[in-house]
Amino acid sequence: MNDEQEKQVPPLTKEQKRAVEEHLRQVRKQLRRNLWKAYRGWWYWRTTLKKYRKTDIKNTAVILMPEAHDRDNYFALRYIDQMLRQHKFRKALILTHSGTVKKSAELFSNAITAVVDCPRKKAEELMQFYCLYNFDKRFFCASLDEPYGRNGSRIIGARGITAEEIFVIGVYRTYPYEQMPPPKYEGDDTKVAEFLKQGDIAIEEAAKSYTQENSS
């Protein structure tokens, strides 16, 4: 912008100045909230690891399942052992508020040290801390769409790609990967039985999305 153009820009009115100041005030307020939230996430991370310091925590992957999304939780459990081998971890610690995960985890892997109850508020705080930077190579956020900005679900079906592939490669950073067989379940818990169908459901959804993409 040259001097002549600058002269043509009218000065802000009092109302416009007040609007700008209010906007900046709200931005600063939100930044303070996010930083405080991230601090609480750091504290939760620190205290959680301290509780399990006697369980070879240095060689343990910590997997946060931030929501009750059965699809993401299912793939997180199904590919735990493969992820551990890829990243040279010995054990896994799961943070979740999903009752189904708590019931089903032992069906998928013997390397799970514990399944820790993690309320949604704590999960959000931990993800806010994670948004600042990748604070620990042991940490995995087991979601296609969280923290904010991932949007992995949007590309399901694109060129035939499945939620399973997106999760294993994108979230667990495991590549190349071998498709793991689903666990066998002979119990009578209907919620667990429905949970174990997530692999087939995800394949059907990807095929449907791929068909719609190519027919449009």
Condensed to tens digits (0 to 9), the pLDDT of residues 26-82 reads: 878 878 888 999 999 999 999 999 999 999 999 999 999 998 789 999 999 999 999
What is the pLDDT, as a whole number, of residue 46?
96
How far is Cα 86 from Cα 172, in angstroms, rounded to an integer? 9
Q: Which domain holds residue 32?
A: 17-215
Task: Using alpha carbons, select from 173, 152, 151, 148 the residue that is nearest to residue 161.
Answer: 152
Would residue 9 count as lying in a domain?
no
Give me the residues paired with residue 60 across strands. Answer: 91
Would residue 120 count as lying in a domain?
yes
Would residue 43 count as lying in a domain?
yes
How far is Cα 209 from Cα 214, in angstroms, rounded to an integer? 9
Would residue 11 count as lying in a domain?
no
Would residue 119 count as lying in a domain?
yes
For residue 153, the number of C-alpha atoms closer than 13 Å in the C-beta half-sphere is 13
Q: How many CB atoms lie within 10 A of CB 173?
A: 13
Segments of the chain scoring below 50 in pLDDT: none
What is the pLDDT, as a whole number, of residue 216?
60
DSSP for 21-86, written as a single string: HHHHHHHHHHHHHHHHHHHHHHHHHHHHHHHTTTS-GGGEEEEEE-S--HHHHHHHHHTHHHHHHH
How far is Cα 183 from Cα 104, in angstroms, rounded to an integer? 10
Query: What's the pTM?
Result: 0.84
What is the pLDDT, as a whole number, of residue 201?
82
Q: Which two tokens stand for residue 14?
A: 């009092």
What is the pLDDT, as a whole number, of residue 182?
87
Overall number of domains in the chain:
1
Phi, psi for residue 41 in degrees, rounded to 5: -65, -40
Would residue 3 count as lying in a domain?
no
What is the pLDDT, as a whole number, of residue 50?
95
What is the pLDDT, as a whole number, of residue 148?
86
How far is Cα 72 from Cα 202, in angstroms, rounded to an integer? 10
How far is Cα 86 from Cα 80, in angstroms, rounded to an integer? 10
The CA R_g of the chain, rounded to the nearest whole Å, is 22
Would residue 208 count as lying in a domain?
yes
Question: C-alpha distances in angstroms, 156 versus 152, 168, 170?
Answer: 7, 13, 12
Amino acid making up residue 81: D
Would residue 1 count as lying in a domain?
no
How far is Cα 85 from Cα 82, in angstroms, rounded to an integer? 5
